[in-house]
């Protein structure tokens, strides 16, 4: 299966990472690049588009603390547009997709306690290595098709009003 992975960042790199044809491609956020990437990947026979954005986008707008959202608001609003553009394009062409919204990214080693959830109210930190593993799994599993999933580490959840959030883990 060919899968296209689009992550928002500042570097631009494309490489084959395994026999499943998972292509990481990082670009600074641009709506036209999302649309163009979808068109090009569709022409190349890619079956699934994986978009990594952030908790704070779309229905998860109220998940991060207000002060965090306010700082990230300009970027999150652009990521909202990118998510909407991807969903519309995939519905039009029939390409499968999954959107993964990680919480605050850390450079710590993977903990192995990161999970995906469809609960848009959850927020917390998560190691980049854990996000990579979750994204790779989501890319290769049909159960994630058409889903928007938050990625958080269960040991690093943001507590609202002193309580740890209760949510259902999404099984891949």
Domains of the chain and CATH, by start: 3-153 (3.40.50.720)
- With bands split at pLDDT 50, 70 and 90, how would you rate the model's confidence at 32? low
Helix or strand holding residue 26 (H, E):
strand 22-27
- With bands split at pLDDT 50, 70 and 90, how would you rate the model's confidence at 46? confident
Taking residues 34-46, report their average pLDDT: 76
The reported pLDDT for the residue numbered 55 is 97
Residue 83 in tokens: 């998510």
- With bands split at pLDDT 50, 70 and 90, how would you rate the model's confidence at 41? confident
Taking residues 30-58, report their average pLDDT: 81
Q: Calculate ∠ Cα 58-42-98, nearest 5°.
A: 30
Calculate what percentage of the chain has a pLDDT beyond 70.
81
pLDDT tens digit sequence for 124-156: 999 999 999 999 999 999 999 999 999 999 999
CA dist 49 and 5 (Å) reads 6
The reported pLDDT for the residue numbered 18 is 36
What is the edge-to-edge ordering of all strands in the sheet holding 22-27?
A: 22-27, 3-8, 48-52, 96-102, 147-153, 114-117
The reported pLDDT for the residue numbered 163 is 85
The residue that leads in pLDDT, 61 or 24, is 61
| Beta-carbon contacts of residue 143 (< 8 Å; ≥ 6 apart) | 170, 171, 172
Taking residues 82-105, report their average pLDDT: 92
β-strand pairing of 147-153 with 114-117: antiparallel
Q: What does R_g of the chain's alpha carbons equal in angstroms?
A: 15
């Amino acid at each position: 299966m060919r899968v296209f992975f689009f992550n928002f960042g500042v570097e631009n790199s494309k490489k084959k990472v395994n026999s499943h044809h998972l292509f990481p491609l990082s670009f600074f956020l641009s709506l036209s690049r999302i649309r163009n990437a979808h068109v090009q990947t569709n022409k190349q026979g890619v079956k699934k588009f994986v978009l990594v954005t952030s908790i704070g986008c779309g229905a998860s707008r109220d998940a991060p603390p207000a002060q965090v959202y306010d700082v990230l608001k300009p970027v999150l609003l652009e990521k909202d547009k990118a998510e909407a553009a991807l969903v519309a394009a995939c519905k039009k062409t029939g390409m499968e997709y999954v959107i993964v919204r990680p919480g605050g990214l850390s450079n710590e080693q993977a903990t192995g306690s990161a999970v995906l959830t469809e609960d848009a109210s959850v927020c917390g930190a998560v190691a980049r290595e854990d996000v990579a593993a979750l994204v790779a799994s989501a890319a290769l599993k049909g159960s994630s098709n058409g889903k928007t999933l938050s990625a958080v580490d269960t040991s690093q959840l943001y507590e609202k009003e002193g309580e740890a959030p209760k949510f259902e883990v999404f099984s891949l």
